[in-house]
Structure 1
Amino acid sequence: MSIPSSVAVLNVVPVSPPTAPVNNAFQDRISLTHFDLLALRAPPNQRLFFYETHLPISAFAETVIPKLRDSLSLTLQNFRPLAGTLIWSLHSDEPYIRLKNDDLVPLTIAETDADPQKLFDDPFQQETDLQQLLPPLRVSETEASLLALQITLFPSSDICLGITFHHAAQDGASLALFLKSWAHICRHGDDPPLPQNLIPIFDRASINDPKNIKQLFLDHLLTPLTPGGPRNRSVKPMEKPFNDRMHGSFRLTVDDIENLRRRITSLQVHNTSQEPPVRMSTVVVTCAYVLTCFVKAGLTKKHVRFILPADLRKRLQPPVPDNYYGNCVFGCTVDMSSDDIARQDGLVVAAKAISSVVSELDANDHRKFFENFLLNNTISQEETKVGVGGSMYFSLDEKDFGWGGPKHLKNIPPWPNHIYIAERRDGDEGVYFCLMLAKQEMAAFESKFLDDLKLLEKWSC
């Protein structure tokens, strides 16, 4: 195993925004939208970014940590709600983010004697080992912190930035905005000020909700855990349902993706139906292929419920600003038969189904999708849920704190059977994704994934 149990915590530094009373821009609370409520009890999201600093070890305590700490404090001046606390009091009809003058973000400082190169060279790690590089959130039934950070030093002077965040506060696009802003301030300080596109907008009026979707979710969340019991106001994230699973990293090259497109096109030639053409986007093609590998590796039951997240910032009316901070993502669901996906043309079956749900999202009333989600939120005994998270469009190069962009990234999927698509470097057109599976399941998936890529290469010759 690449990471021994010798990750030692040296200190936990409380980092607060610059000393100033809570101002009128934030007042003392931030409300949640229906998109935030959708993620209220989801497991925490976690990221690991690995950097090569090329600095002497002594610089870690003398310059690296002070620079990261001080720039984080300056960044929190604009991202103040991230230092706040998510609460749902008995006297409140809905949860909210409470802001106080003594709010802080914990920054854990740690060191390890692990060899980072072995970690990078090995695409598979135990999830419990990676957790040593990640900080915990402070959570209870009634309160939850929103962000925790950890900096771990390796003997090679490489460092790892570990991030754990409560999903009710932000989606992937918002986290990317926070990291870009922090990295910018770490490199340049606050003079000149942050560019306007790196300053977040927390105004919940940016999310238009004329059909009161929010109330649908509040009623759903408040449902008592037992008949006749008290209304459920918990803000505690669900525990990750892992039992020492394996974390696996995979890649599809540009050639792999083009081969998949050709294969889908060739299989469609024999289709005489009048169905609309399949979207050949990189995301659709990637998800269709990974889903077929899941099924052919024997990792699904009779039916599959596939969940594809869609960023609705540009789809809402009016559109939401790119620098809006919060959640603006919804998981579109499509149900499929494992037998259909296992057929020779299963790649087309999966691609059509995934393509169709994206088209529906573009054309239909969003309230319908939320209503269907609440009505069909349970999974039957004969059904396997396979989800997608992350995005390839968040650039790694934008997370340069002064030592260049991250050399490696590891996303920790919040669920089993969850395909987590990773951001990539500028100019890299490949797709990186990770999974969390039991050891034998990971071996079965890897075998099918690699074998079918070889077959695709032969078909394309």
Structure 2
Amino acid sequence: MAAPLHTLKILEQSQVSPPPGSVPTTSLPLTFFDLLWYFCCPMQRLYFYQSPHPTQFIYQTLLPNLKNSLSLTLKHFFPYAGNLICSPSPARPHILYTEGDSVPFTIAESDAEFDRLIADYPRDVQEHHPFVTNLPPTRTEGDARVVPLMALQVTVFPNSGISIGVTFCHMVADGRAFHHFMKSWGSVCKSNGDLRFIEKSMPFHGRVSIKIPCGVEGDVLKSFWDWASVEKEDLGPMNLKKLAGKVRATFNLGQAQIERLQHWVKNQFTEEELDTLHISTFVVTCALLWVCLIKSSQSMELTKFSKEDEPYFFAFVGDCRNRLESPIPYTYFGNCLAFCFLSVNRNELLGEKGIVAAAKGIGKRVKQLECNGALEGAENWMQEWKEIVDKYKFFTVAGSPKLGIYDTDFGLGRPKKTELLHTDVSGAISLSDSRENEFGVEVSLAISKAQMDCFSSIMEDNLQLENIYSGVRILGSLGLCIEEERIRWTT
């Protein structure tokens, strides 16, 4: 499915800094939690906003306001304007902000079809990538590598709206901290410079409150330097070769569907078993998606050489802000995520109750995170993840339905759509809150068109098998539209 032809014209490339003299030179050492993301590709999030205003208003009023409000917001979220400094061992990597550091800010205009870009049906993944920009290239100063941490692009779609594309390095902050920044920027822009929202929810940059068990951080820092000594791809350009042949589609699971799936899964376990499991919206949604992905790849003969008892791995992260021995503020700016891995044998996942087996594995791991402490086995996370990637078939999720992504308002209302673009390369499933209903879940993924068609059919079969939904079913050539309590995927 080739992307339709459209033009993209770069109108302006500038730099946005915090207000002069507002931020002193500041160095923030990377913590244990930051170091874990060294090998992660740059994060890319794209927001689409429909505008009721004429295009002239966007150029004369909205764009200058976006830049001014960004400057005011960076005063408090200054690490994004800084750089990551990686000096040779044994020096600890750190984020350094100095006066004049800035975020690249690109303004572009496109004649792409706005309604197509915000649709849910499958489209070539490359359609969205012109609307995000790459990080500036890493440079060398003395014996240190200097890595820029954020780049922004605003694209105007005349008489339709705008998109805001954000690229940032994961080592500077996790999803909760990033969305705190985006909502703060949005509030300042919407209010024409009013900082009261930020002042009520100031980012916390303290590092001494991160208490890691003795020896754990040293082991991870050693692993970091062992791997960092090997030449690594630059954090800038995304490998577009990995996008060839993929389509992206979005599914919306409603609250009623999720609750029925949750109820059905719980009924498959005894009370004693349920005491060892955490069967939440996150758990049952991930279980459903994991099984549908495995079965669709099996149907496409993408896993024909697998052994029946081969372990398939699932990876996710858990927020540790309230799970550490000394809890840190909810507004902590940085990374504070536990790595969680689990495996289920292939034959169980492909069985009649594959969703139950998947939910049991994921639910047990979440329960362990809650009961055993967030840092159990932390000294092995980097090595364990590397081994899983090298040796096994694995699936991951990115994002979370709890981050309130659709609450990011720059004065144009809620986003019409938001996409997590780096998952096109990483292969992760993207989860977010739903733009359609308060307690729903929005799911996006990028796979081949043939597998996407198969995935859609298998998902419907699984939902029908468990009688999760009711309503009129209409199966289309590219997807399905289930009315009433429905998964929304319309052609």
Partner of 1:127: 125
Partner of 1:145: 148
Change beyond 3 A, Cα 1:45–1:336: same
Change beyond 3 A, Cα 1:459–1:328: closer
1:111 CA drift (Å): 0.9
SS at match of 1:205: coil
Partner of 1:19: 20
- Indicate the larger mover: 63-72 or 335-344: 335-344
Q: Distance in 1 between the 2:227 and 2:167 partners?
A: 29
SS at match of 2:388: coil
Q: Which AA in structure 2 matches 1:344?
A: E
Contact 2:202 2:331 survives alignment (8 Å) = yes
Unmatched tracts of structure 2, length 5 or more: 140-144, 472-491
Partner of 2:407: 398
SS at match of 1:389: strand
Partner of 2:457: 447
TM-score by length of 2: 0.85
1:191 CA drift (Å): 4.1
Pick one of 353, 358, 371 that aligns with 1:350.
Answer: 358
1:251 CA drift (Å): 1.8
Deviations 1:43-69 (A, max 9, x none): 111111111121111112101110100
Contact 2:433 2:439 survives alignment (8 Å) = no
SS at match of 2:170: coil
SS at match of 2:377: helix
Q: How does 1:25-424 map to 2 (within 5 A)?
A: 27-90=25-88, 93-140=91-138, 142-191=145-194, 193-223=196-226, 231-232=229-230, 236-237=234-235, 242-244=242-244, 245-268=246-269, 276=275, 278-297=277-296, 298=298, 301=306, 302-376=310-384, 377-379=386-388, 383-414=392-423, 415-424=425-434
Q: Distance in 2 between the 1:3 and 1:103 partners?
A: 38
1:275 CA drift (Å): 6.7
Contact 2:268 2:356 survives alignment (8 Å) = yes
SS at match of 2:344: strand
Q: Distance in 1 between the 2:367 and 2:336 partners?
A: 18
SS at match of 2:184: helix
Partner of 1:9: 10
- Indicate the larger mover: 300-309 or 335-344: 300-309
Partner of 1:438: 448
Contact 1:133 1:150 survives alignment (8 Å) = yes
SS at match of 2:47: strand
Q: Distance in 1 between the 2:452 and 2:436 partners?
A: 29
SS at match of 2:393: strand
Change beyond 3 A, Cα 1:59–1:189: closer
Change beyond 3 A, Cα 1:424–1:81: same
1:22 CA drift (Å): 4.2
1:21 CA drift (Å): 6.4
Q: Distance in 1 between the 2:455 and 2:166 partners?
A: 28
Deviations 1:33-87 (A, max 9, x none): 1111111220111111111121111112101110100000111111111100112
Deviations 1:257-283 (A, max 9, x none): 1231233134336xx985745422100
TM-score by length of 1: 0.90
Q: Distance in 1 between the 2:287 and 2:161 partners?
A: 36
Q: Distance in 1 between the 2:291 and 2:41 partners?
A: 26
Q: Distance in 2 between the 1:277 and 1:210 partners?
A: 26
1:232 CA drift (Å): 4.4
Contact 1:221 1:232 survives alignment (8 Å) = no
Change beyond 3 A, Cα 1:178–1:371: same
Q: Distance in 2 between the 1:47 and 1:60 partners?
A: 21
Deviations 1:350-370 (A, max 9, x none): 111101111111222544332
Q: Which AA in structure 1 matches 2:34?
A: D
1:374 CA drift (Å): 3.3
SS at match of 2:73: helix
Change beyond 3 A, Cα 1:236–1:206: farther
SS at match of 1:339: helix
Q: Distance in 1 between the 2:233 and 2:451 partners?
A: 32
- Indicate the larger mover: 404-413 or 170-179: 404-413
Change beyond 3 A, Cα 1:53–1:237: same
Change beyond 3 A, Cα 1:405–1:2: farther
1:88 CA drift (Å): 0.5
1:193 CA drift (Å): 3.7
Change beyond 3 A, Cα 1:316–1:135: same
1:460 CA drift (Å): 7.9
Q: Distance in 1 between the 2:290 and 2:193 partners?
A: 46
Q: Which AA in structure 1 matches 2:466?
A: L
Contact 1:413 1:435 survives alignment (8 Å) = no
Q: Distance in 1 between the 2:194 and 2:200 partners?
A: 16
Q: Distance in 2 between the 1:121 and 1:95 partners?
A: 41
- Indicate the larger mover: 189-198 or 35-44: 189-198
Partner of 1:228: none
Aligned-residue RMSD, C-alpha: 2.6
SS at match of 2:118: helix
1:197 CA drift (Å): 3.9
Unmatched tracts of structure 1, length 5 or more: 226-230
Contact 2:404 2:432 survives alignment (8 Å) = no
